Structure 1
Amino acid sequence: MAVVNIRKKEVQIKIVYVGPGRGGKTTNLEYLFSKIRHRIESDMVSIKTQGDRTLFFDFLPFELGQIQGYQIKTQLYTVPGQVKYNATRKLVLKGVDGVVFVADSMVAMREKNIVALKNLEENLAFYDIDLYDRFPIILQYNKRDLAENGIDILDVDTLQQDLNARLQAPFYEASAVNGVNVIATAKKAISTTIVSIQEHLG
């Protein structure tokens, strides 16, 4: 749940990018960092885990509006997607307020997307969070640009059926490498999370 700092009059929200390994989570945050660098006071922190080319986490605080007179500070994290790093994923999800699920559009990744979403459900349940009970989540169908290179990608209807039939969450077709819908995804994740927090605060 969001951390409230009464002295600073600040609400800190935590959004975590999850999804299968090498699906584009880190690329999303690196693109965001490059575009809003002037609004970020600290450097992006990366801790690399052995054998995993994905960043352990990225830390991007930036300001966005207010909740009941309190400034909002947003933290964005990635988690490693590989199966063997589940303990790390679970740890990073502690205190999460919202999630961006980055799905890999390649046909070859269909099953890994489904497994990753199931893993997210299980890890959130560890913290007594029900993914399907109005939890703030945005889906991003990444790597749509690969079709231009002759690589087989899943159509949106299939991705929706696999990942979003039950969630009914907002989704974006994206190319993190080219920056297509990267900022839109982040903005939607932040605004959806803020609305959820405001509802909880009454």
Structure 2
Amino acid sequence: MAELDEQSNRLTLKLVYYGPALSGKTTNLGALHELSSPELKGEMMVLETQKDRTLFFDLFPLGFEAPSGLLIQLKLYTVPGQVQHDSTRKAVLSRADGVAFIADSQHNQSHTNLESFENLAANAGRVGIDFDRLPLVVQFNKRDLKNILSEQEIRERWEPSPWWPVVFASALQNQGVLETLELLLQRVYPGLDEEYKLAAAHQLSREAFVAGLLGK
């Protein structure tokens, strides 16, 4: 799904933050933008839709440079959470290299989380993404609120297999935000390495890939 521009020697990756309305997708991207050094980020852009919005910005707009000289750029997007914007969700999800699914930890949002996750799986198929191979991280946000599911309850429901690692977060407090992105980048790397030979041709290990894109 990543795009390689051979003329500029630039590999552009796309990560999408998916989930139900008001789960904290926008807050996650806002926190990441705030936590990133000024020289490592582009301007936050907003596409307004009726009663909802899509946000995106670039990390390393000029490219993080691998030892071989390959430039790697990361684009981060949110999707609108409301059901009526499903066509926009499909458009944003198209050609994604990985997805962070942002769920709401509150008890009364369990059904909404499940509906949105099923929508993600369905839309992935509609835009040509193999959902079983899609690098995916599930973040349960809003851990700072009352009346939330316990970590044990969440793990019993959402970790039946190793395919969907779970991160517990409070994006408003910048907790779990970087951890979610770091884990997603770790899961994205193997597919990129297989296709673009990041280690063999560009001397870029998984550890260096993740650290570079996080500005470490």
Q: TM-score, normalised by structure 1?
A: 0.88
What amino acid maps onto 2:123 in structure 1? N
Residues 139 and 168, structure 2, Cα contact 8 Å, conserved in 1? yes
What amino acid maps onto 2:167 in structure 1? Y
Which residue matches 1:44?
44
Matched, 1:165 2:160: yes
CA deviation vs aligned residue, 1:121-179 (integer Å, no higher than 9, x gap): 0000012322223x211111111111xxxx21012233233333246322211000000
| Cα distance change of structure 1 residues 41 and 144 upon mapping to structure 2, 3 Å threshold | closer
Tell me the matched-pair count.
Answer: 195
| Cα distance change of structure 1 residues 199 and 157 upon mapping to structure 2, 3 Å threshold | farther
| Cα distance change of structure 1 residues 105 and 42 upon mapping to structure 2, 3 Å threshold | same
Between structures 1 and 2, the one with greater strand share? 2
Which residue matches 2:103?
103
Note the C-alpha offset of 1:65: 5.7
Residues 114 and 162, structure 1, Cα contact 8 Å, conserved in 2? no
What SS does structure 2 have at the residue aligned with 1:172? strand
User: How do residues 4-153 of structure 1 correspond to structure 2 at under 5 angstroms?
Assistant: 4-40=4-40, 42-52=42-52, 55-62=53-60, 63-64=63-64, 66=66, 69-133=69-133, 135-146=134-145, 151-153=146-148
In 1, Cα distance between the equivalents of 2:161 and 2:82? Answer: 24
Note the C-alpha offset of 1:91: 0.6
Residues 33 and 41, structure 2, Cα contact 8 Å, conserved in 1? no
Note the C-alpha offset of 1:190: 2.1
What SS does structure 2 have at the residue aligned with 1:43? coil
Note the C-alpha offset of 1:60: 2.4
In 2, Cα distance between the equivalents of 1:65 and 1:144? Answer: 36
Which residue matches 1:194?
189
What SS does structure 2 have at the residue aligned with 1:118? helix
Note the C-alpha offset of 1:41: 5.0
What SS does structure 2 have at the residue aligned with 1:74? strand
Note the C-alpha offset of 1:66: 3.3
What SS does structure 1 have at the residue aligned with 2:56? coil
What amino acid maps onto 2:102 in structure 1? V
| Cα distance change of structure 1 residues 7 and 121 upon mapping to structure 2, 3 Å threshold | same
Residues 132 and 166, structure 1, Cα contact 8 Å, conserved in 2? no
What SS does structure 2 have at the residue aligned with 1:145? coil
Note the C-alpha offset of 1:112: 0.5
Residue identity over aligned pairs, in percent, reads: 33
Q: Which runs of 4+ in 1 moved over 6 A?
A: none
Matched, 1:184 2:179: yes
Structure 2 unaligned spans of 5+: 198-216
| Cα distance change of structure 1 residues 18 and 167 upon mapping to structure 2, 3 Å threshold | farther
Q: TM-score, normalised by structure 2?
A: 0.83
